[in-house]
Amino acid sequence: MTEPEITIPACPHFGSCGGCQLQHIPYSDQLRDKAVRLRELLETTGLALPELHCHPSPPYAYRNRIRLTLAEINGKLQAGYVSSSNADNRQPVTTNQQLAFLPITQCPIAAPILWRATEALLAELGQRPIPWMERAPFSFDQLEIFTTAEESQLQISLFVRTSAKSLPARFSNDLASLCESLKTQIPQLVGVGIYLIPPRSARSRRVEQPRPGPAWGAPGLIYPVPQPGSDTLQAATSYWVPRTAFFQANRFLLPELLALVTANRCGQLAFDLYAGVGLFTLSLAANFKRITAVEIAEPAFTALTSAKLPNRHAVKATTLDFLQAAVVQRDRPDLIVLDPPRSGAGPEVCALLARIAAPTLIYVSCSPEALPADLQILAASGYTLTELHLFDLFPQTNHIETVAILTR
C-alpha cells in the first residue's frame, strides 16, 4: 500500500487555523476521497445509486464571503479565526478543546479582494483610535466581507458587542468618514453596516439576533450569475443580496450549479423550498407558469420579494408549515427544489413531500450525513434516485455539497 501523496499547503496558518483540513492533500485526491466518502454514506441506504458526477472547483480563491473574528492584541485590532489551541488539521474541533484567537495574515481560499479589504479596514481603524478604539461604547467582535464573483462590488458588515440599545449619533458621521476614506483604497466598496450584539454571558445560550446600527452606502449588492449555457454577464441573472443574507459561497461553481438545477426544467407549477434570496427561483420562473418560493429567514425573504416577477409567489413560512398547508390545498407541482440547512429536510418534511408526489424532486444537500435518511423516506414513497452530483463548493475542507435528482 502506497503512502498518500503530500503537498505543501498554500496557507501559512494551515494546521493552526482549522478552517481548512485538506490543504496538505493534492486537490485531485481530495475530490476522489470526497466521492468515496459520499458513496459510502449513501450505500448504507441500500438504494440503487446512479453514477456519481463530480464538479470540481478551482482549489483556491473561490470564496465570495469570509467571516473573521476581531480582537485587540497589544492595543492593535487584528482579524483572524477562533480555532482549537491544540488544533490538528485532520481532526474536527471537539467541545472539550480550548478555543483560541488566531490572527491571520492571509486566507488563500478567499477571493483576493476580501483580504485586501480586511487589511485596509484594519489600517483605517488603527489610524482612528478615537472613538473607534479608545472610547467606544462597544467591543469589536466579527467582520464579514462579501463580494461578487468578478470582485466588482464589496459589502462589509461589522459586528460589535455592546449593552447599549443603539450607538451615539456621532458614529453615523464617523462611519461615513471612515468609509469614504476606505473607498479610495477599495473602490469596489458599495456599503458598510454595523450590527449590535449583546455582551457574552455564561448564563445565556440563546442565539442573539444582530440589531442594525449605523450604516453607509447601499444595504446590499447586486450579484450577477451567468445564465445556464452562457459565460458572460450580458446574459446573467442578477440577485439582490442584502448584507448578512445567505448566498452560496463558491463564486466559480454557481453557474454550473444553477444550470443543473434549473436548465430545461419547465411546467405549470414549481416549488422552491428554503429559497433564500431566490437563487433557483429567478431562473425557474422563466419556464414555469407559476412558482412558489418559500423562505422564513430575514433578510433573505425581503430580497426574495424584491424580484418583481408576475408568476412568482413568495411565502414567508417554514417549509414544514408551508407543506402542511399545500397538502390540504392539494397543490401538485411539476417540480420541487429544496435546499435545506445542514440538519437536512427531516422525516416530517420528507413525508409531506411524498404525499405531494411531484414528478421531479431536486434535493440540494450540504450534509452528506443527513441526506441518506431523507433519501430513504423518499425512496420508500416511490421516488427513484436518477442522478447524483457532488459539487465541491468548499475545496481544502471536508465539506461536501450534493445534488440528488429524484423522479417518480
Q: What is the domain-level CATH number for residue 253?
A: 3.40.50.150
Q: Are residues 141 and 200 in the same domain?
A: yes
Are 366 and 267 within one domain?
yes
Same domain (yes/no): 258, 399:
yes
Number of structural domains in the chain: 2
Query: Does 15 map to a domain?
Result: no
More confident position, 2 or 104: 104
The torsion region of residue 229 among left (phi > 0), alpha (psi -120 to 50) and beta comes to: left
What's residue 231's pLDDT?
Answer: 58
Q: Tell me the per-residue pLDDT of 200-249, one tens digit each, with 9 for 90 and over.
A: 875 555 557 899 999 999 999 999 998 755 655 566 789 999 999 999 99
Do 135 and 270 lie in one domain? The reply is no
Residues 304-319 have pLDDT tens digits of 998 888 999 999 999 9
| Residue 281: its H or E element | helix 281-284
Question: In sequence order, what DSSP letters do the residues of 245-269 get, joined into one string?
Answer: ----SBTTTHHHHHHHHHTT--EEE
Nearby residues of 160 by Cβ (< 8 Å), 6 or more positions away: 136, 138, 139, 140, 141, 194, 195, 196, 197, 213
Q: Which helix (H) or strand (E) holds 121?
A: helix 112-127
When mean pLDDT is compared across 54-58, 134-138, 178-182, the lowest value belongs to 134-138
| CATH assignment of the domain containing 184 | 2.40.50.1070
Whether 137 and 250 share a structural domain: no
Q: What is the pTM of this model?
A: 0.91
Are 206 and 257 found together in one domain?
no
Q: Which domain holds residue 202?
A: 65-218
Asked whether residue 143 falls in the same domain as residue 96, the answer is yes
Please tell me the distance from the alpha carbon of residue 388 to that of residue 402, in angstroms, as a whole number.
7
Residue 263 is predicted with a pLDDT of 87
Residue 51 has pLDDT above 50, yes or no: yes
Kindly report, residue by residue over 238-253, the tens digit of the pLDDT: 999 999 999 999 999 9
Position 120, amino acid = A
In the prediction, which pLDDT does 22 show?
96
